[in-house]
Amino acid sequence: MAKAPADQSFFLPGDSIDPAYRNVRDNPHNKPYLTEAKTFVELLWPQYRHLADTHFCQDATNHFLARFWEMYLAVTLNNNGFKLERYGNAGPEFFFMHNDRKVWVEAVAPGPGEGNDRVPGYSYGKFEEGLKVESTPEEKILLRFTNALDSKKRKYSIDLQKRIIASNDLYILSDKFEGHPQWLGCRFLAALLCQSISSFRNSCMSGRP
């Protein structure tokens, strides 16, 4: 696998369609928390660079939180004694060995979606009004997680067929949603449960185990 150059910076100049990326990189209003965020990202990057492919930083310009989550997850595991390796450009993000078994780790970071199905974020009113949060859009959040899980499930099946992942390997999905953190756990489990129930129902109807 071609890796990112040793002297490459995480943040790249030029256009980006991701407002989170632009805000952290450019900090147009000199917000201290954005300065801290950029410093933190630049601290993580040298620790992750050896696992990143050549397109990682470019992809981050348009999918900042997803790529940040992948990088943060890897560095956290590495700092806790897990020796991470990457298979290549195919397969899950990375893997490590545990009790002579390969453990694959896949980072899941569903975006807010688009159009009518988009999950609303925070909105700011006047200073005296403070932070405003819209009501919890249960169905839209579940849809984002369900779509993400379905995509990872298809990818997992392909990796099994290609023998990238062995049937006795362990597989971890680690989620991070680009939005309201207090909603995440139960929504992820609900989406996962829906996937399991759907798979169980389809198996029963088809007669497969």
In DSSP notation, 146-197 reads HHHHHHHHHHHHHHHHTTSS-TT-EEEEEE--SS-GGGHHHHHHHHHHHHHH
Distance CA 57, CA 60 (A): 5
| Close Cβ partners of 57 (under 8 Å, ≥ 6 residues apart) | 4, 8, 9, 10, 11, 12
Distance CA 34, CA 40 (A): 10
Distance CA 183, CA 130 (A): 20
135-158 pLDDT, tens digit per residue, is 555 666 666 667 777 788 888 899
Domain membership of residue 22 (yes or no) is: yes
6-23 pLDDT, tens digit per residue, is 678 999 999 999 999 999
Q: Are 10 and 95 in contact (CB under 8 A)?
A: no
What does the CA dihedral 187, 37, 172, 1 come to, rounded to 10 degrees? 140
Co-location of 67 and 90 in the same domain: no
> What pTM was computed for the model?
0.71
Domain membership of residue 1 (yes or no) is: no
Co-location of 114 and 209 in the same domain: yes
Rounded to the nearest integer, the mean pLDDT of the chain is 75
Co-location of 111 and 144 in the same domain: yes
Mode of pairing for the β-strands spanning 101-108 and 170-175 = parallel
163-193 pLDDT, tens digit per residue, is 999 999 999 887 665 554 444 444 444 444 4
Co-location of 118 and 186 in the same domain: yes
Q: Letter for the amino acid at 145?
A: F
What average pLDDT does this structure show over 84-91?
85
pLDDT at position 55 over 60 = yes
The band of 198, judged by pLDDT with boundaries at 50, 70 and 90, is very low
Co-location of 138 and 181 in the same domain: yes
The band of 47, judged by pLDDT with boundaries at 50, 70 and 90, is very high
What average pLDDT does this structure show over 83-94?
86
What average pLDDT does this structure show over 190-209?
40
- Give the length of the chain: 209
Q: Are 23 and 33 in contact (CB under 8 A)?
A: no
Count of domains forming the chain: 2
| Close Cβ partners of 60 (under 8 Å, ≥ 6 residues apart) | 10, 21, 67, 68
What pLDDT score does 180 carry? 46
What average pLDDT does this structure show over 100-118?
73
Domain membership of residue 3 (yes or no) is: no
Residue finishing a domain among 63, 80, 97: 80
Mode of pairing for the β-strands spanning 122-124 and 131-133 = antiparallel
Co-location of 43 and 92 in the same domain: no
Residue finishing a domain among 80, 107, 140: 80
What pLDDT score does 90 carry? 80
pLDDT at position 80 over 90 = yes
Q: Determine the structural domain holding residue 42 and report its residue range.
A: 10-80
The band of 159, judged by pLDDT with boundaries at 50, 70 and 90, is very high
DSSP 202: H
Co-location of 59 and 112 in the same domain: no
Domain membership of residue 32 (yes or no) is: yes
Co-location of 166 and 204 in the same domain: yes
Co-location of 72 and 111 in the same domain: no
What pLDDT score does 158 carry? 93
Domain membership of residue 21 (yes or no) is: yes
What pLDDT score does 110 carry? 64
Co-location of 101 and 124 in the same domain: yes
Q: Are 57 and 63 in contact (CB under 8 A)?
A: no
Residue finishing a domain among 47, 80, 113: 80
Co-location of 38 and 71 in the same domain: yes
Domain membership of residue 119 (yes or no) is: yes
Domain membership of residue 108 (yes or no) is: yes
Q: What are the structure tokens assigned to 139, written together?
A: 């169905």
pLDDT > 70 fraction of the chain, expressed in percent and rounded: 63
Domain membership of residue 4 (yes or no) is: no
Co-location of 49 and 136 in the same domain: no
Q: Quick check: helix, strand or coil at residue 30? A: coil
